[in-house]
Amino acid sequence: MHHACICRKTIVIFLLSLLIFTVSGCSSKEEPPRGAIVIEGDAVERKAYVTLDELKSMDEGLVEADYFSINSYGTKEYTHFKGVWIWYLLKEKVKLKEKASKVTFIAEDGYTVEFTLDDVKRDNYIDEQNPEARYKMILAWEENGKEFNPANGNPFQLVVGQRKPGDVNKPYWVRNVKTIRID
- Over the chain (183 residues), the average pLDDT of each successive run of 10 is 56 50 46 86 97 96 98 97 98 96 98 98 97 96 97 96 97 97 98
Strands (E), the chain: 37-40, 48-50, 62-70, 76-85, 102-107, 112-116, 138-143, 146-147, 157-159, 177-182
In angstroms, the Cα distances linking 145 to 82, 151, 166 are: 8, 18, 27
- For the entire predicted model, the pTM comes to 0.82
CATH topology of domain 37-182: Sulfite Oxidase; Chain A, domain 2 (3.90.420)
How would DSSP label each residue in 37-50? Answer: EEEE-TTBSS-EEE
3-state secondary structure of 10: helix
- pLDDT at site 135: 98
- pLDDT at site 4: 56
